[in-house]
Protein backbone atom coordinates (compact mmCIF):
# COMPACT_ATOMS: atom_id res chain seq x y z
CA UNK A 1 0.00 0.00 0.00
CA UNK A 2 2.75 2.51 0.83
CA UNK A 3 5.43 1.22 -1.53
CA UNK A 4 4.69 3.89 -4.13
CA UNK A 5 3.69 6.71 -1.78
CA UNK A 6 6.13 9.60 -1.27
CA UNK A 7 8.11 9.52 1.95
CA UNK A 8 8.40 12.45 4.34
CA UNK A 9 11.43 12.51 6.62
CA UNK A 10 11.21 14.06 10.09
CA UNK A 11 13.74 15.66 12.41
CA UNK A 12 13.16 17.97 15.38
CA UNK A 13 14.52 21.39 16.34
CA UNK A 14 14.37 23.52 19.45
CA UNK A 15 16.22 26.26 17.51
CA UNK A 16 13.98 26.98 14.53
CA UNK A 17 15.77 30.06 13.20
CA UNK A 18 19.15 28.31 13.24
CA UNK A 19 17.64 25.16 11.73
CA UNK A 20 16.03 27.21 8.93
CA UNK A 21 19.37 28.82 8.07
CA UNK A 22 21.26 25.52 8.29
CA UNK A 23 18.94 23.40 6.17
CA UNK A 24 18.30 26.16 3.59
CA UNK A 25 21.53 28.13 3.39
CA UNK A 26 24.14 25.55 4.35
CA UNK A 27 22.62 22.32 3.00
CA UNK A 28 20.79 24.02 0.13
CA UNK A 29 17.32 22.56 0.71
CA UNK A 30 14.38 24.59 -0.54
CA UNK A 31 12.10 25.94 2.19
CA UNK A 32 8.52 25.12 1.18
CA UNK A 33 6.58 26.23 4.21
CA UNK A 34 6.94 27.38 7.79
CA UNK A 35 4.30 27.62 10.49
CA UNK A 36 4.23 27.43 14.28
CA UNK A 37 4.63 23.63 14.15
CA UNK A 38 7.40 22.97 11.62
CA UNK A 39 9.65 23.99 8.78
CA UNK A 40 9.11 22.02 5.58
CA UNK A 41 11.89 21.60 3.04
CA UNK A 42 12.22 19.86 -0.32
CA UNK A 43 15.32 18.05 -1.46
CA UNK A 44 16.02 15.16 -3.78
CA UNK A 45 12.35 14.32 -4.22
CA UNK A 46 11.75 13.94 -0.48
CA UNK A 47 9.97 16.27 1.88
CA UNK A 48 11.76 17.04 5.15
CA UNK A 49 9.66 18.26 8.08
CA UNK A 50 11.71 19.91 10.81
CA UNK A 51 9.31 19.82 13.75
CA UNK A 52 9.52 22.69 16.23
CA UNK A 53 9.76 21.40 19.80
CA UNK A 54 10.34 23.00 23.20
CA UNK A 55 13.18 20.67 24.22
CA UNK A 56 15.26 18.20 22.28
CA UNK A 57 17.50 15.35 23.31
CA UNK A 58 19.28 14.33 20.09
CA UNK A 59 19.37 10.62 19.31
CA UNK A 60 22.71 8.86 19.63
CA UNK A 61 22.61 7.67 16.04
CA UNK A 62 22.20 9.04 12.52
CA UNK A 63 18.70 10.38 11.97
CA UNK A 64 18.98 11.73 8.42
CA UNK A 65 21.34 11.06 5.54
CA UNK A 66 21.94 11.79 1.89
CA UNK A 67 23.30 9.47 -0.77
CA UNK A 68 25.85 11.32 -2.90
CA UNK A 69 27.75 10.29 -6.05
CA UNK A 70 31.06 11.84 -4.91
CA UNK A 71 31.53 11.99 -1.15
CA UNK A 72 34.83 13.87 -1.34
CA UNK A 73 33.20 16.65 -3.37
CA UNK A 74 30.20 16.74 -1.02
CA UNK A 75 32.38 16.91 2.10
CA UNK A 76 34.60 19.58 0.56
CA UNK A 77 31.56 21.68 -0.37
CA UNK A 78 29.90 21.29 3.04
CA UNK A 79 33.15 22.06 4.88
CA UNK A 80 33.47 25.26 2.81
CA UNK A 81 29.99 26.17 4.06
CA UNK A 82 31.10 25.75 7.67
CA UNK A 83 30.04 22.16 8.36
CA UNK A 84 32.34 20.35 10.77
CA UNK A 85 32.58 16.60 10.35
CA UNK A 86 32.51 14.25 13.31
CA UNK A 87 35.54 12.17 14.23
CA UNK A 88 35.29 8.75 15.86
CA UNK A 89 38.93 7.75 16.47
CA UNK A 90 38.02 5.09 19.04
CA UNK A 91 35.57 3.35 16.72
CA UNK A 92 36.79 3.63 13.15
CA UNK A 93 39.51 4.96 10.91
CA UNK A 94 38.55 8.05 8.95
CA UNK A 95 40.55 9.90 6.33
CA UNK A 96 41.70 13.52 6.61
CA UNK A 97 38.22 14.75 5.61
CA UNK A 98 36.47 12.60 8.22
CA UNK A 99 35.29 10.00 5.72
CA UNK A 100 35.03 6.38 6.87
CA UNK A 101 35.34 3.51 4.39
CA UNK A 102 33.01 0.68 5.39
CA UNK A 103 34.12 -2.93 4.89
CA UNK A 104 31.59 -3.29 2.06
CA UNK A 105 33.04 -0.31 0.18
CA UNK A 106 30.56 2.46 1.04
CA UNK A 107 32.02 5.71 2.33
CA UNK A 108 30.32 7.77 5.04
CA UNK A 109 30.90 11.11 6.78
CA UNK A 110 28.83 12.42 9.69
CA UNK A 111 27.99 15.93 10.87
CA UNK A 112 25.48 17.61 13.15
CA UNK A 113 22.74 20.17 12.66
CA UNK A 114 22.38 23.13 15.08
CA UNK A 115 20.37 20.96 17.51
CA UNK A 116 22.96 18.18 17.59
CA UNK A 117 21.04 15.76 15.36
CA UNK A 118 23.50 13.46 13.59
CA UNK A 119 23.30 13.66 9.79
CA UNK A 120 25.40 11.91 7.16
CA UNK A 121 26.47 11.78 3.55
CA UNK A 122 27.13 8.37 2.00
CA UNK A 123 28.66 7.28 -1.26
CA UNK A 124 27.55 3.70 -1.95
CA UNK A 125 30.08 1.04 -2.91
What would the DSSP string read from start to end of the chain? --TTSPPEEEEEES-HHHHHHIIIIIT-PEEEEE-SSEEEEEETTEEEEEEE-S-----SSEEEEEE-S-HHHHHHHHHHTT--B---TTT--B-TTS-EE-TTS-EEEEEE-TT--EEEEEE--
Walk me through the domains of the chain, giving residue ranges and CATH numbers. Answer: 8-123 (3.10.180.10)
**pTM of this prediction?**
0.93
Q: What is the pLDDT along the chain (125 residues), one digit of tens a residue?
A: 899 999 999 999 999 999 999 999 999 999 999 999 999 999 999 999 999 999 999 999 999 999 999 999 999 999 999 999 999 888 889 999 999 999 999 999 999 999 999 999 999 99
Amino acid sequence: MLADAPITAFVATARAAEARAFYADVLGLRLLHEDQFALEFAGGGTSLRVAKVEQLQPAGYTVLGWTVPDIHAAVTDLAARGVQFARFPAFMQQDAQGIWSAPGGAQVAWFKDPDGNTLSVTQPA
